[in-house]
Amino acid sequence: MKDKKIYIAGHRGMVGSAVKRNLENLGYHNFVLRSSAELDLRNQSEVQEFFRNEKPAIVIDAAAKVGGILANNNYPYQFLMDNMQIQNNLINESLKNDVEKFIFLGSSCIYPKFAPQPLQESSLLTDSLEPTNEWYALAKIAGVKACQAIRNQFGKDYVSLMPTNLYGTHDNFDLTSSHVLPAMIRKFHEAKLEGHTTVNLWGSGSPMREFLFVDDLARAVAFALENKLPEYLYNVGTGIDLSIKDLATLIQSVVGHQGEINWDSSKPDGTPRKLMDVSKMHELGWKHQIELKDGIQTTYQWFLENQDNYKEVKL
């Protein structure tokens, strides 16, 4: 298994780089990798040529256009179409070139806005989506169903992992496109440098959220790689959530900011709660290892060491 050629799509992103680091630690070494400058995954002919030439045995799809509420609201077409093109090309070429295992990574936003909590895999497509990220969610749902269709029709080991909200080293700290946790780290850090000025945060602070350190997702990917999972879709998370207000207090403490927090309730809250039911992965033998405070401390340390060149997404 460890000699097989593995293609990690999106290997330079937060998720893909964590997946690669973890697999290397486990002894995997035969990687085929391309940056987005070298291979545009939205371009069908480029992806076709890549698969014909490289013939990977395993494909891990960690490539996606991602962002928070602001980015999803402002660029709905790109979030729908770019993600559809990326995953359609990867999934179809994997099928045509007899890739034996395909691991598709999605997001908890595929589930309906008011699905029963904690979110179970069976809630998929049972109600309407959260409007602030429905474009991204629709694309990811299509990817999940494409992998399920291949699994059903061709009997191939194509599986989808749906992580909860991710954070960690190599995160995106650009305030126009980042997710809530890295955005808070940057805001509290900059306010501390400015003399502990007030930090303005979106919404009421009441929504409940669950967060998974990216290295734990990487371990779940390795688990899916080394085991044939019996179903087509699995949630990956901690099974523990907290309010955005409590998250802010925790990050404020880790960063060392001593000023005030102002909640702008005119801004959208998003989904009221998103907690994953991770019992299926637990039953198979996978469980997260890194608790939230430890993960935030690690992420903040990485931010401090890389703030001159941290990733800023240009949409």
Q: From the candidates 7, 28, 111, 136, give the one annotated as an active-site residue.
A: 136
- Does 166 appear as a known binding residue? yes
Residue 11, annotated as binding a ligand: yes
**136 a catalytic residue:** yes
List phi, psi (to 5°) of 102: -125, 125
Residue 209 annotated as part of some ligand binding site? yes
Measured CA to CA in angstroms, residue 312 lies from 25, 69, 307 at distances of 28, 16, 10
- Please indicate if the annotation marks 107 as binding a ligand: yes
Q: Is 163 annotated as a binding-site member? A: yes
- The verdict on whether residue 118 carries a ligand-binding annotation is no
33 assigned ligand-binding residue: no
- Long-range Cβ pairs for the range 280-286 (8 Å, 24+): 280/121, 280/231, 280/234, 280/235, 281/220, 281/223, 281/234, 281/235, 281/236, 282/239, 284/223, 284/227, 284/229, 285/223, 285/227, 286/219, 286/220, 286/223, 286/236
Does 274 carry a binding-site annotation?
A: no
**269 is an annotated ligand-binding site residue:** yes
CA gap 304, 300 in Å, rounded: 6
For residue 230, count other CB atoms closer than 10 A to its CB: 9
**Which residues contribute to the annotated binding site for substrate?**
187, 202, 209, 269
Tell me the catalytic residues: 136
**Which residues contribute to the annotated binding site?**
10-16, 105-108, 140, 163-166, 179, 187, 202, 209, 269
**Which residues contribute to the annotated binding site for NADP(+)?**
10-16, 105-108, 140, 163-166, 179
